[in-house]
Amino acid sequence: MFNLSKQLYFNVFTGLFIFGLSFYMIRDAAGTMNILFIISFILAGFLLSFFDLSISYKLLVFLIPLSVKFTFPNSTATILLPSEFLTGLLAIAFCFSYFFKVPVIDKQFLKHPLTILIVFYVFFLIISAAFSGMPIVSLKAVIVKTTYMIVFYFLTYMVLKKDALIGSSFFVIYGMALIPVIMFTLMNHSIYGFSKDTSNTATLPFFSDHTIYSACISFIIPPLIIHLIFSKSLRLSRVKIILFSILILWLCVGVFFSYCRASWLSLAAGGLFCIMILMRIKIKWLIILFLSASLFTIFNRNHIVSVIKQNKSDSNAKNADLIQQTKSIANITNDLSNAERINRWSCAVRMFCDKPYTGFGIGTYQFEYLHYQRKKEMTSLSVNSPYNNKSGRGGSAHSEYLLVLSESGVFAFLSFIGIILSALYIGMKTYYGRDSQNSRIVSLMALSGLVTYLSHSLFNNFLDVDKAAFLFWSSLSMLTAASISMKQSAS
């Protein structure tokens, strides 16, 4: 490793960033500038590989919530700056570090069940892209998702392998970056009297809409609360406890004024899960509880549907209060947002039935589902084109699970479900262990955030955006690092 000062490292990195971006912005039609940009980008990643990547990684964590969308001149291509640029550099740097230097990933990590399942998941995404009707779209989507996994899962583990407890700081850094974002959003929202109708655009330019904004905030609230619960074990001073409390309160304010019902529900689910884990309810009892609830729902589905149809609470009604908006989650008759979700879900199922094994190709749902809509299921929010739609319209499948099923087929779907179930099992097993206290705390933090997001992802999908992808994949990496650390301390 070169013996360069941190100041020189910062100057070199910043210079390369400006150099590469400038080339792209002034590129000509002949494509010469594109080639020069790619060369400079790879060179920047190579030089970055000689430094301590954990420094740049922590910078990335802070920049992700603060990044904004940039559209290239004379093009429809967009990028989140500076987070996606830095993510790409770190992916290249990590690959150089792994293949041309001393390996930065140990065999225990590569052989870990979660790592294997993630590799299988990527493999099936690539297979799906190969059979895609829109190969360029799917190729771009595969590259983006793979880059996210390399940086947010593999590189995260490299940072964590010395001490899994470092993972707890990621939630804090991310939360601190959200402070100005929430402040800016509330200022925008206050201009319109905090009305629900304007909540969707108040989050611009940092978040594309209020759903992903609230999902990301909701993800980190439970881990930060766990910081307070285990304040003695984490040796938090009184000042830090007060600051954590203020930060959590500020995040809750952000979620409340987001008017996102899915986030409110997901926070309740995450909180309930944490309570059960803190009570040390055995895994087998949780499985029995889940299976019992599923069987009860199946055998009483007609009665349940009948009761749901009687729910007339409408989230879009004027002056709808918190109780009415919460109750409207189960309204499938006249709530416009829910009706449009059912339209998207139905299209996803029909797409899966047509291509059950390979799917239509990752990244293609927003283009392909339009032909699968039925007039009787369409709403005033439905669209007939994936382009130039008003805010609150268009979009994707509104379900992370159905999106994978329709775009990538049953094998990718089973791999994704396998990742989720394995993460829950490994995380609970690690927390219930008796050895490493640090590993137990980190596993509970990661679990609490994941359960919150997994609940939200029943109604929305965000893993194609780095703001949510970072939280999801890095939490999986934390669980992997915590379980490996637990095994090492026990041996």
In this structure, what token pair is assigned to residue 326?
């919460």
Work out the pLDDT band at 29, boundaries 50, 70, 90: very low
Q: Specify the pairing of strand 78-81 against strand 68-71.
A: antiparallel
Name which of 39, 35, 43 is nearest 12 in CA terms: 43
Q: What is d(CA 460, CA 408) in angstroms, rounded to the nearest whole number?
A: 17
Domain ranges of the chain: 1-104
The stretch 162-173 carries a mean pLDDT of 85
pLDDT at 1: 39
Work out the pLDDT band at 477, boundaries 50, 70, 90: very high
Q: What is d(CA 260, CA 189) in angstroms, rounded to the nearest whole number?
A: 14
> Are residues 327 and 313 in contact, defined by beta-carbon separation less than 8 angstroms?
yes
% of the chain exceeding 70 in pLDDT: 81
User: Is residue 329 over pLDDT 50?
Assistant: yes
In sequence order, what are the residues at sequence separation of 6 or more whose Cβ sits closer than 8 angstroms to the Cβ of residue 121?
A: 412, 415, 416, 419
On the CB side of 359, CA atoms within 13 Å amount to 32
Apex CA 422: angle with CA 417 and CA 427, to 5°? 135
In this structure, what token pair is assigned to residue 123?
């493999």
User: Is residue 3 over pLDDT 70?
Assistant: no
409-467 pLDDT, tens digit per residue, is 999 999 999 999 999 999 999 998 877 788 899 999 999 999 999 999 999 999 999 99
- Element housing 78 (H / E): strand 78-81
Q: What is d(CA 204, CA 218) in angstroms, rounded to the nearest whole number?
A: 18
* Helix-then-strand count for the chain, H and E: 20, 2
> Are residues 395 and 366 in contact, defined by beta-carbon separation less than 8 angstroms?
yes
% of the chain exceeding 90 in pLDDT: 53
Apex CA 479: angle with CA 419 and CA 406, to 5°? 20
The interaxial angle of helices 210-229 and 238-256, nearest 10 deg, is 150
Residue 66: count of CB within 10 angstroms of its CB: 17
Q: Which amino acid is at 418?
A: G
In sequence order, what are the residues at sequence separation of 6 or more whose Cβ sits closer than 8 angstroms to the Cβ of residue 277?
A: 428, 431, 444, 447, 448
Residue, of 489 and 464, whose pLDDT is higher: 464
Q: What is d(CA 416, CA 414) in angstroms, rounded to the nearest whole number?
A: 5
Q: Phi/psi of residue 377, each to 5°?
A: -100, -15
Beta bridge partners of 70: 79
User: Is residue 48 over pLDDT 80?
Assistant: no
Q: What is d(CA 58, CA 56) in angstroms, rounded to the nearest whole number?
A: 6
The stretch 2-26 carries a mean pLDDT of 52
- DSSP 8-class letter at 485: H
In this structure, what token pair is assigned to residue 93?
């740097």
Residue, of 190 and 15, whose pLDDT is higher: 190
> Are residues 260 and 337 in contact, defined by beta-carbon separation less than 8 angstroms?
no
> Are residues 298 and 317 in contact, defined by beta-carbon separation less than 8 angstroms?
no
User: Is residue 47 over pLDDT 80?
Assistant: no
Residue 356: count of CB within 10 angstroms of its CB: 14
Residue, of 153 and 392, whose pLDDT is higher: 153
Tell me the pLDDT of the chain averaged across its residues.
84
pLDDT at 31: 53
Beta bridge partners of 69: 80
User: Is residue 144 over pLDDT 80?
Assistant: yes
The stretch 372-400 carries a mean pLDDT of 81
Q: What is the dihedral of CA 126, 132, 135, 141, to 10 degrees?
A: -50
Q: What is d(CA 378, CA 392) in angstroms, rounded to the nearest whole number?
A: 15
Q: What is d(CA 161, CA 482) in angstroms, rounded to the nearest whole number?
A: 9
The stretch 69-91 carries a mean pLDDT of 82
User: Is residue 378 over pLDDT 50?
Assistant: yes
**b/e 30-50 (16+ beta carbons within 10 angstroms → b):** eeebeeebeebbeebbbbbbe
Work out the pLDDT band at 22, boundaries 50, 70, 90: low
> Are residues 27 and 37 in contact, defined by beta-carbon separation less than 8 angstroms?
yes
Output the CA–CA distances (angstroms, integers) from residue 188 to 113, 208, 211, 252, 286, in the order listed.
45, 14, 16, 18, 43
Name which of 69, 79, 94 is nearest 144 in CA terms: 79
In this structure, what token pair is assigned to residue 476?
């999986």
- Element housing 80 (H / E): strand 78-81
pLDDT at 423: 96
> Are residues 230 and 439 in contact, defined by beta-carbon separation less than 8 angstroms?
no
Could you tell me the pTM of the whole model? 0.90
The stretch 186-210 carries a mean pLDDT of 90
pLDDT at 102: 57
Find the range with the poorest average confidence among 221-225, 255-259, 323-327.
323-327
DSSP 223-279: HHHHHHHTTTTTT--HHHHHHHHHHHHHHHHHHHTTT-HHHHHHHHHHHHHHHHHHT
